[in-house]
């Protein structure tokens, strides 16, 4: 149990375009999902916390208008990177927390390359 | 500020050795602490989760301890194997709902 999936697993896009990444909790309902970014040889950095039915909470330094998060259902959160630039190239990982729980379950990650 | 650090940053050992990875955190008010493994270019694999009320957890050749009062956790790997080579991440779930990762320890086990 407690499986989280991400789609796509990797994506290449041209500078200026937008890319949507999906995060799904497959066998549980996740009231809270988290989005992380990981640059090469660095650790994961929390970008935003996504709560179902409400606006996401962004960490300091993360542009909310550039990284659009939608948590429309208890099993799906999406991250849209708008007007992507090469410096947005990174590994994006989501996690989900079950209601009342404190353990996070991580997705396999999405590698974004912006050319 | 809630921070998590890990020592050493990198470690290279011959196969068969027992080894210890260290994790320190600045705030003792935590819900739990997790150890993850990450292979290059891959996602995270959860290894062990220790609740704040626990002192250690064991899974196979892995043993993780938690000393909340001193803000430390260790991951002990017994009889290391080349397949253990990966980056090991410590993550702390602080009170206040903030989940913070350490920078990781890159482990190489040489055959």
Cβ-contact B11, B106 below 8 angstroms = yes
B 30-59: CB under 8 A from A: 31-32, 34, 36, 41-44, 46, 49
A16: left (phi over 0), alpha (psi -120 to 50) or beta: left
Shortest CA gap B22–chain A (Å): 16
pLDDT tens digits, A49-63: 988 888 899 999 999
Q: What is the pLDDT of residue B97?
A: 66
Question: Tens-of-pLDDT digits for all 115 residues of chain A?
Answer: 688 999 999 999 999 999 999 999 998 888 889 999 998 878 889 999 988 888 899 999 999 999 999 988 889 999 999 999 999 999 999 999 877 766 788 999 999 999 9
For chain B, say whether A40 makes contact (Cβ under 8 Å): no
- Three-state DSSP string of B61-97: CEEEEEECCCCEEEEEECCCCHHHCEEEEEEEEECCC
Q: Do A44 and B41 touch (CB under 8 A)?
A: no
């Amino acid at each position: 149990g407690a499986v989280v999936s991400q789609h796509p697993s990797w994506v290449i896009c041209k500078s200026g375009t937008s890319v949507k990444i999906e995060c799904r909790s497959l066998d549980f309902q996740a009231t809270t999902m988290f989005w992380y970014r990981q640059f090469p040889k660095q650790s994961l950095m929390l970008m935003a916390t996504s709560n179902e039915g409400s606006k996401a909470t962004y960490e300091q330094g993360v542009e909310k208008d550039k990284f659009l998060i939608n948590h429309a259902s208890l099993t799906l959160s999406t991250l849209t990177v708008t007007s992507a630039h090469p410096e947005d190239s990174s590994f994006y990982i989501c996690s989900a927390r079950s209601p009342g729980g404190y353990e996070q379950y991580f997705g396999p990650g999405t590698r974004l390359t912006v050319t | 500020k809630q921070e998590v650090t890990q020592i050493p940053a990198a470690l290279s050992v011959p196969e068969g050795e027992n080894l210890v990875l260290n994790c320190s955190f600045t705030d003792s008010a935590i819900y739990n602490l997790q150890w993850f493994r990450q292979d290059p270019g891959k996602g995270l694999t959860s290894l062990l989760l220790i609740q704040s009320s626990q002192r250690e957890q064991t899974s196979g050749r892995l043993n993780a301890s938690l000393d909340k009062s001193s803000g430390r956790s260790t991951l002990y790997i017994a009889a290391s194997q080349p397949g253990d080579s990966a980056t090991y991440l410590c993550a702390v779930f602080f009170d206040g709902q903030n989940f913070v990762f350490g920078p990781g320890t890159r482990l190489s086990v040489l055959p």
